[in-house]
Amino acid sequence: MAIPNIRIPCRQLFIDGEWRESVKKNRLPVINPATEEIIGDIPAATAEDVDIAVKAARSALRRDDWGNTTGAQRAKYLRAIAAKVQEKRHELATFETIDNGKPWFEAASDIDDVVACFEYYADLAEALDSKKKTEVKLHLDSFKTHVYREPLGVVGLITPWNYPLLMTTWKVAPALAAGCAAVLKPSEIASITSLELGEICREVGLPPGALNIITGLGHEAGSPLVSHPDVDKIAFTGSGPTGVNIMTAAAQLVKPVSLELGGKSPIVVFDDIHDLDIAVEWALFGCFWTNGQICSATSRLILQETIASKFLDRLLEWTKNIKISDPLEEDCKLGPVISRGQYEKVMKFISTAKNEGATILYGGERPQYLKKGYYIQPTIITDVDTSMEIWKEEVFGPVLCVKTFKTEEEAIELANDTKYGLGAAILSKDLERCERFTKAFQSGIVWVNCSQPCFWQPPWGGKKRSGFGRELGEWSLENYLNIKQVTQYASPDEPWAFYKSPSKL
């Protein structure tokens, strides 16, 4: 079926609890990746707008209605946001699909996670009240020390386009739970639902300035946010080169950053797997979920050579069965990639792999029956050498490359042969082997006999060039808290007696 002619709400920038036109009044088109049609536009913020938003956030911290709230009070706002998101689930999922291109049922699942994430951080905000002031035992009775956990201040949150509202929530929910005031800058190619979050905050009465949302280009809105002297921290999810630029700019002000910069994750499959089809499905899901546009995608399939031929035969059968269609169509399992630029980037990766001597076992082209939209067949590439670009670089599209191994040692070497370190998976019925690989993988996340499950309770993040810092769980809340030591002299009537006292007259 054709995608209905849906136009998005015409929003402005969300600053200080109000919709405000950008200073320069510029706007950017929103393109539906399934039809290549313009379906609306968003405001294009510049440095002037960033400054207004940061001032609004700073002002919110000085006011009692936000700056002096308890965790329990903030929890009420977070739960109200969750309830409103749930109420608008169908609408938000539809906006997400026409903005991002992911299948509607995936978008709806993301919205469910948004609701759960806000509720989870509401619970943590309440629990924070009992942890706000914590005594520290000392070895000297003459002093007493405690630690305050307090909001870090004004935080800049920069989010990607592959999970627009969910990635926004991963940052906004813990930042608000901690009591920070935030300025959110979502990706300019998927901002619709982040702007709708502004309307939700307005509807539930979130105090003005607690969350401000500015849309626009990275160099015009993102860069000024990173370098703004009154922003106390930057949390960023996105590409490695942009992460380097953010670190460099933040370093000039010794500003803390947390970075999640993608990956090139391995999935290692041994010949003792319980069931071939179960393993094949995890291999597909690990790479082709979210149209292949997932930072943790297990896009390097490392197969034990004794089952490689049989596994690839079955992999081909499953891959050919994936429904590629209009993402609003029922049972769609693969939609278009996000934009023309991303389409061309992915196709160039495939072309380069072929030119370097790899074999395109399946896919690598636009489906013939889809004349419009940025669609790419799920692609499987074999005869891959570790020197090839397709093995080394993050594609961020539905492309899986394959290598084989003989021994555990060779499998570990191949798995860790990457500059990234976000996720890694192993499929084997030998749980002792799985434990060995869990310890040997150079990554922040390990999946055993599965790939890509993600929950809001455990930490999420990587090592090496996948970045540093952790999101989700209690670890994310710590990102937005300042730890302040307070030490008190317990005997103020007693002299310290370090210096010799002058004679008294």
Catalytic residue numbers, as ranges: 260
Pair of tokens at residue 417: 């042969």
Residues 74 and 395: their CA atoms lie apart, in Å, by: 40
DSSP string, 217-249: -IIIIIHHHHH-TT--EEEEES-HHHHHHHHHH
Residues 263, 423 contacting (CB under 8 angstroms): yes
Residue 224 makes CB contacts below 8 A (sequence gap 6+) with 46, 47, 50, 51
Pairing relationship of beta strands 445-448 and 18-20 according to DSSP bridges: unpaired
Phi, psi of 473, deg, nearest 5: 60, -165
Return the SS3 of 193: helix
Residue 481 makes CB contacts below 8 A (sequence gap 6+) with 149, 150, 151, 152, 178
Residue 427 makes CB contacts below 8 A (sequence gap 6+) with 267, 268, 269, 270, 273, 279, 282, 283, 449
Residues 212 and 119: their CA atoms lie apart, in Å, by: 20
Q: Which of 311, 328, 287 is nearest to 452 (CA)?
A: 287
Pair of tokens at residue 137: 């035992």
Residues 205 and 216: their CA atoms lie apart, in Å, by: 25
- Type and span of the H or E element at 257: strand 257-260
Written as one letter, the residue type at 88 is: K
Residues 334, 366 contacting (CB under 8 angstroms): no
Residues 501 and 222: their CA atoms lie apart, in Å, by: 58
Residue 58 makes CB contacts below 8 A (sequence gap 6+) with 154, 181, 209, 230
Q: Which of 208, 180, 142, 168 is nearest to 497 (CA)?
A: 142
Pair of tokens at residue 336: 């278009």
Which residue is it, tokens 């929530």?
Answer: 169
- Type and span of the H or E element at 279: helix 276-288
Could you give the count of Cα atoms lying within 13 Å of 165 in the half-sphere of its Cβ?
Answer: 36
Residues 191 and 193: their CA atoms lie apart, in Å, by: 6
Pair of tokens at residue 334: 């693969």
Name all contacts of 322-325 with Cβ < 8 Å and 24+ positions apart: 322/284, 322/288, 322/378, 324/367, 324/370, 324/375, 324/377, 324/378, 325/370
* Chain-centroid distance, C-alpha 70: 27
